[in-house]
Amino acid sequence: MAAFGWHGPDRSILEDVCRRVGLNLVGDNLREHAANLHTALTLADWGLAATGTLVLDSRSEDLRLATMLAQVHIAILPLSRLRPDAEALQAELIRLMESPPSYLAYITGASRTADIERVLTIGVHGPQELHVLIFKDQGP
């Protein structure tokens, strides 16, 4: 399991749970583990309710690898970071662009594509499954 961005007490709890159920937890240098990434657990920066889209500040290569190479992506989103639509995210994006470089990933569902014969294939350009866990937090 790849768990990028988890530190402190939360990381310790996650390590303990993974150890108890026999999972190998990695958080850094994911390129070395790319062939074995099954599940990625990430923190989403924002969510857009209108489209079900996650927005992640993906400047880190490890985060990009986790969200693109794992078969299953589990994203955790604080309720206070949920916005109704992309327009409502404008102020946050302007602040983010004040300190480039930046790399934002907009993720809407599992990866899917269809060829010219309209045969749907899931998981070609990213995870086969995307799960979003929204939790009620204290807000900003």
Confidence of residue 83 (pLDDT cuts 50, 70, 90): very high
pLDDT on residue 140:
63
Could you check whether the bond before residue 100 is cis, i.e. omega within 30 degrees of 0?
A: no
Mean pLDDT value across residues 133-137: 92
140: in domain? no
Residue 12 lies in a domain: yes
Strands 53-57 and 46-48: antiparallel
- The Cα 122–Cα 44 span in angstroms is 22
Q: What range defines the domain where residue 50 resides? A: 8-135
Residue 54 within any structural domain of the chain: yes
Number of domains in the chain: 1
At 136 the three-state DSSP class reads coil
Asked if residue 127 is part of any domain, the answer here is: yes
* Residue 77 within a domain: yes
Q: Is residue 1 part of a domain?
A: no
pLDDT digits (tens, 9 = 90+) for 88-129: 999 998 888 888 777 888 998 777 777 777 788 776 777 888
In a domain, 2, yes or no: no
Tens digit of pLDDT for each residue in 37-78? 888 999 999 999 999 999 998 888 888 888 888 889 999 999
Q: Taking CA 90 as the corner, what is the angle to CA 86 and CA 93, rounded to the nearest 5 degrees?
A: 105
Residue 47 is predicted with a pLDDT of: 96
CB atoms within 10 A of CB 33: 18
Give the global pTM: 0.84
